[in-house]
Amino acid sequence: MTAAELPPGLHPDQRLEARVVTYWVLGDLLTAAVVTGLAWFVGRPLLAEHWRSWSDTWELVLAGACLGMLVLALLVPPLAFARWRYAYRSDLLLLRYGILFVEERAVPVRRMQHVDLVRGPIERLFGLATLVVFTAGNEGSAFRVPGLLVARAQELRDRIVEARGDGRL
């Protein structure tokens, strides 16, 4: 079911927990630091040694790409947080997310196979959890709702299990 097919008033309006921005920034900065470190300290010397066309211009391009990755690691999380919405209403899990390409999903409980709570080490540090819902079907068979307080994620999971009513989750 697409968001356009939803009855009026059934649009996601609940926000993620604000501390998810810091969690995302830390994760993205860590990833960007590893990638840029490898590019700068391993890739650059190898390219300079084995590529005859390597020049100061390419050095500046690589430095710009590394800096760009670090800047994106700081900019993307607040933008993603500003767009993310979710809700659970009328036996539907409603999701809206994305920055450039915004997706809206309405996942009916009857299509849900099982639901998990995921908490990595950094998520635990921030008191957050990710609700993962697995559905029947091929396209997008798993949906994630990140940045929830643990109690809220458990409540959503329990509501979904209760709505299923058959103990299959």
pLDDT 10s digits, 93-116? 999 999 999 999 888 888 888 899
Both tokens of 98, joined, read 């994305």
Annotate 141-164 with b (16+ C-beta within 10 A) or e (fewer): eebebbbbbeebbeebbeebbebb
- On whether both 92 and 152 belong to a single domain, the answer is yes
pTM, rounded to two decimals? 0.83
Shortest CA distance to 155 belongs to which of 123, 126, 131?
A: 131
- Total domains in the fold of the chain: 2
pLDDT at 39: 95
* Residue 163 pLDDT: 86
Among 28, 53, 80, give the residue marking a domain's end.
80
Kindly state the tokens that stand for 155.
């409540």
What's the pLDDT score for residue 169?
A: 47
**Which of 32, 49, 80 corresponds to the end of one domain?**
80
Residues of the chain with pLDDT under 50: 169
